[in-house]
Chains A and B, each alone.
Chain A
Amino acid sequence: MNLFFSKKINVISAIMVFILMVFNIYNITNNTPMVPDQFWAQKIFYFHVPIAWTGFLSYLIVMIAGVLYLINKRTIWDHLGYAAAEIGTLFIVLVLITGPIWAKPIWGTWWTWEPRLTTTLILFLIYVGYFMLRTFGGHPERTSRYAAVLGIVAFFDVPIIFYSVRFWEERYQSHPQVEIAKQNPDIIIPFLISLIIFSILFSFMLKYRLHVLKVALNRKKN
């Protein structure tokens, strides 16, 4: 049986990831200081930012997998790109959800054309196109190649998007998140813990998706 969870190690990993995430939530709720202006809303920072960083890391992986796939055409790079794109997009959607949840109490509005949020939205739209290309692009050997190209192009577009938006609306420079490095350790440490745990979650999900893609491919070949 090719079930992911038929392997003992995967079951153990899943349980561990679950425990870590529960610990993370507990840690954030109980062990982090209350920020004077924002109170509970600020706690979202411990989710929103790690998810955002992991999501963007994901898209970096899509780009690198794309380059490697174009160079030597090995299926593993195509699968890595696809899996990373899927999980990255999921995380980006979470960023787009937690962003407004954080923004509403602080700024009084759900949405604003703030550089980071806008860039994230545009990136999400680019990846909607990515998945449409994967579905409608033609035979799989061609779509793998095209998706690799799109992953590379998207990655080079992102910094340009970010700087354009930054110059575009000068009034939206205030972001509730302050410079992370300047915070006191009470904030930095739980943040780093959250970041590490979300990265572990990401790796686990990536491993799962890679397994599913491999099984699906084997089934198609037979």
Chain B
Amino acid sequence: MFYTLVRKDLLLELRTKEIVIPMFAFGLAIIMIFALSFNASQAINHAFAPGLLWIIILFISSLGLNRMFVLEKEFDAFTLTLSAPIDRGIIFLSKAISGTILLLISQIMIIPPFIIFMNLSIPSDWYIMILILLIGDLGIMSVGTIVSGLSMRAKLSEMLLPILFFPLVSPHIIACVKATNYWFKGLSIVNWQTWIYLMISFVLVFFLLGFMIFEYITEE
């Protein structure tokens, strides 16, 4: 059941391309504006890059989350999933995982331009960064799915979602930025593993919370 739901979300994206492409375009726009406005030296870019990267990820996640739930609202399609004999917690998990996958795809697209335009030199163990991105995305999408569910049916949902989303996810972003920063400086993961643990605990807490509480979020 879970795989069916995730597969459906990914199939929808394949047909509409309404999520990953806008997320990538938006991210690119922010990078351009930042690079142009600040036009800073490489040293300053290196100092700001981790923070800026996660700000961009946060903004494009907002966009992606909104789009994901708009797709469900069209033609009242969400009713199909709700009326089926599926536990609501499973629906939550599927949305969070689909979101993570889509976010990862747009991140992979956005990171090369980011490196190029910010003129960055990155450490050789890039697979650690993939790990950071993966755990970071899971955390973002777990809280994001909860908040999207709450704001989905509201008036001004595009405005309500970021207002609810950003403060709740801020501790996780702090951890992601710290981890990225240490990785960027070339420090071995052993030195800063506390941040990874913090990120993982965030993911666990909110996945559990979302799973238990999604029933009440989808009530009409």
Direct contact of A and B (CB under 8 A): yes
- A contacts, CB < 8 Å to B: 70, 122-123, 125-126, 128-129, 132-133, 136-138, 142, 145-146, 148-150, 152-154, 156-157, 160-161, 163-165, 167-168
Q: How far is the CA of A9 from the CA of B193 in the complex (A)?
A: 58
For residue A70, which residues in chain B have a CB less than 8 angstroms away from its CB?
Answer: 216
B175 within 8 A of A: yes
Kindly identify which residue among A123, A137, A149, A153 contacts B154, using a CB–CB cutoff of 8 Å: A137
Task: Tell me if B's interface is mostly helix, strand, loop or mixed.
Answer: helix
Q: Are B171 and A160 in contact (CB under 8 A)?
A: yes
A-B contact count (CB 8 A): 88
For residue B172, which residues in chain A have a CB less than 8 angstroms away from its CB?
Answer: 160, 164
Q: Which residues 141-167 in B have Cβ within 8 Å of A in the complex?
A: 143, 146, 150-151, 153-156, 160, 163-164, 166-167
Q: Are A154 and B219 in contact (CB under 8 A)?
A: no
Kindly identify which residue among B160, B168, B175, B178 contacts A136, using a CB–CB cutoff of 8 Å: B160
Q: Are A136 and B198 in contact (CB under 8 A)?
A: no
Q: How far is the CA of A150 from the CA of B178 in the complex (A)?
A: 27
Residue picked from A136, A160, A163, most chain B C-beta under 10 Å: A160
Q: How far is the CA of A142 from the CA of B171 in the complex (A)?
A: 28
29 contacts between A and B (CB under 8 A): A122-B167, A122-B170, A122-B171, A126-B168, A132-B163, A132-B164, A133-B154, A133-B160, A136-B156, A136-B160, A137-B153, A137-B154, A137-B160, A138-B153, A138-B154, A142-B219, A142-B220, A146-B150, A150-B150, A153-B168, A153-B209, A157-B168, A160-B205, A161-B170, A163-B171, A165-B174, A167-B195, A167-B198, A168-B174
Interface 1/0s, chain B 113-129, versus A by CB < 8 A?
00000000000000000
The 10 closest A-B pairs by CB, nearest first: A164-B171, A125-B167, A129-B164, A161-B171, A126-B167, A129-B163, A164-B174, A136-B155, A160-B171, A137-B154
Q: How far is the CA of A44 from the CA of B217 in the complex (A)?
A: 41
- B contacts, CB < 8 Å to A: 143, 146, 150-151, 153-156, 160, 163-164, 166-168, 170-172, 174-175, 178, 194-195, 198, 201-202, 205-206, 209, 213, 216-217, 219-220
Further contacts, 6 of them, CB under 8 A, given A157-B168, A163-B171: A70-B216, A133-B151, A138-B154, A149-B217, A160-B198, A161-B171
Q: Are B155 and A138 in contact (CB under 8 A)?
A: yes
Kindly identify which residue among A122, A126, A149, A167 contacts B213, using a CB–CB cutoff of 8 Å: A149
Q: Are A153 and B146 in contact (CB under 8 A)?
A: yes
Q: How far is the CA of A61 from the CA of B155 in the complex (A)?
A: 28
Q: Are A132 and B160 in contact (CB under 8 A)?
A: yes
Q: Known contacts A122-B167, A133-B160, A137-B150; decide if A148 and B216 are in contact (CB<8 Å).
A: yes
Chain A nearest CB from B175 CB (Å) reads: 6
For residue B143, which residues in chain A have a CB less than 8 angstroms away from its CB?
Answer: 153
For residue A123, which residues in chain B have a CB less than 8 angstroms away from its CB?
Answer: 167
Residue picked from A70, A132, A142, A157, most chain B C-beta under 10 Å: A157
Kindly identify which residue among B153, B167, B170, B205 contacts A142, using a CB–CB cutoff of 8 Å: B153
Q: How far is the CA of A198 from the CA of B194 in the complex (A)?
A: 38
Chain A nearest CB from B159 CB (Å) reads: 8
For residue A122, which residues in chain B have a CB less than 8 angstroms away from its CB?
Answer: 167, 170-171
Chain B nearest CB from A215 CB (Å) reads: 26
For residue A167, which residues in chain B have a CB less than 8 angstroms away from its CB?
Answer: 178, 194-195, 198
For residue A154, which residues in chain B have a CB less than 8 angstroms away from its CB?
Answer: 168
For residue B151, which residues in chain A have a CB less than 8 angstroms away from its CB?
Answer: 133, 137
Q: How far is the CA of A182 from the CA of B115 in the complex (A)?
A: 52
For residue B166, which residues in chain A have a CB less than 8 angstroms away from its CB?
Answer: 125
Q: How far is the CA of A123 from the CA of B170 in the complex (A)?
A: 11
Residue of B nearest to A69 (CB): B216
